Amino acid sequence: MQRSTKLKEDCQICKKEKFISELMPAVSIRQSIVDLIKSSGNNWDSQGYICLDDLNKFRNNYISKILQDESGNISSVEKEVLDSISDKDIISKNISEEIDRNLSSGQRLADNIAKFGGSWSFISIFGVFLFIWMSINIYVMTVHPFDPYPFILLNLILSCLAAIQAPIIMMSQNRQEDKDRQRALHDYQVNLKAELEIRLLNDKVDHLLLQHGQRMMEIQQIQIELMEEISSKIQNNK
């Protein structure tokens, strides 16, 4: 097929006249997308053109159809990915910073307490505290210790500390699990967008290869015509 020598052509979908640079030949469109265009009720001519805006719209519809066939429906996460592809937005972001910005003062305090309670600093400080407490009641205040052996008051303090510390640590762990879920969800979005972008990129590469092949065919056709013209002149001069 020879390329059109016109600077503009009509898009067979929106019927608007546009420059060739804004159009794509119908013969270079993937067959699965062509089937989708035909099923939508549009007249399709394999010798015509389609503008990039309409092509991207059908590409997004085709991707949506793939996702629906695989999972049964499109979730809000997948819809966000499709919108980012359509709007050419960047979807990757730092989830940890975004979550940390939305923490309340109580949540930050719980995280700090859990972080300190699970450190060697806490173990060292608490070990020194226990040693001092028992030393005072055994060796310093031998006559009237305020907490004699078996250290009932110390056991009460430790029980109260454990009762308070346990739910605080659980709060921090639950928030960490929620953060991990959001990270996994974000990784899924990024991977999904990368896969879909690669599919669209393959279509564009196929189009470029087809255009290159068409240009080479045109050049060969021109060369053949020149050869025939030269041959004809040579024969006429004999």
How much is the pLDDT for 132?
A: 92
Position 73 scores a pLDDT of 59
Report residue 1's pLDDT band, with 50, 70 and 90 as the boundaries: very low
DSSP letter (8 states) at residue 146: S
- Taking residues 96-124, what's their average pLDDT? 82
What φ, ψ does residue 17 adopt, rounded to 5°?
Answer: -85, 125
pLDDT at residue 25, rounded to an integer: 81
E strand or H helix at 41: none
Per-residue confidence (pLDDT) for residue 129, from 0 to 100: 92
Integer Cα distance of 220 and 201 in angstroms:
29
Return the structure tokens found at 205: 């590469």
Sign of the C-alpha dihedral, residues 221, 224, 228, 233? Answer: positive
Contact criterion met (CB below 8 Å) for 12 and 34: no
Place 74 in a pLDDT band, splitting at 50, 70 and 90: low
Section 217-235 average pLDDT: 71
Nearest to 165 by CA among 125, 115, 131: 115
pTM higher than 0.75: no
